[in-house]
Amino acid sequence: MEVFYEESAAYHKAEKSKTKYTILSVLSGLFLFLTCFMAFLFVMVIPNIGYMISFGMPALMFLGFWFAFWKWKSTVNVSYDYAFVSGELRIARVYNTKKRKAVARFDCADIIQFGDVDSPSYERLKSDPVTKSVICTSNYEAADGKFFMYILAQYNGKKLFVLECTENLLMNILKFVKRSALDRDYVMQEKKRQTLQAQQAQQTQRV
């Protein structure tokens, strides 16, 4: 059975972050140029110790600034793509809507358990010292129509992936795994929303 399904978890503040990303790119490029320039001067004055120190110290300082801005840039305006291809889940990190980097790629046979982050099972799995958490979203709140889904998989050891997705992705995965892999406490998202709305309505009436 051929199945292809894809969706993205876009960063909610992407528009505001584009300018910040551009500024950091320019600064990291500038300091990389200065590092290379000072390193060139450093090589040219060998073996004059005095000049080597004069050019070597700034080169190291500029290198540190370049690394700091480059690292900072990699955390700005990050979104994620999830592609499900006939039983295989592919997760990619997208920088500034352009550059992609693979995060993970594993078969449904490697999935141990999956479900809703709101489930008590998630906290239990997260507290396991041998399990590494891999957050695959830049948002603290799920977008409309989406929820945070966890996937515990055997991928270079035990990994607990957290995705911001629609229930469609969960349903596609469910076609290729045993029903027992789905968290037994999982509640369909529509029912979950209805229950939450009912609780909010009751609280409003009490007030």
Write out pLDDT tens, residues 12-23.
776 777 777 888
The predicted pLDDT at position 1 comes to 64
- Of residues 75 and 30, more confidently modeled: 30
Query: Does pTM top 0.75 for this prediction?
Result: yes
Q: What is the mean pLDDT of the chain?
A: 89
Banded pLDDT at 83 (limits 50, 70, 90): very high
Q: Residue 28 above 80 pLDDT? A: yes
- Of residues 49 and 171, more confidently modeled: 171
Q: Residue 91 above 90 pLDDT? A: yes
Q: Is 25 exposed, middle or buried (0-12, 13-18, 19+ CB in 10 A)?
A: middle
Asked if 147 contacts 116 with a C-beta cutoff of 8 angstroms, the reply is: yes
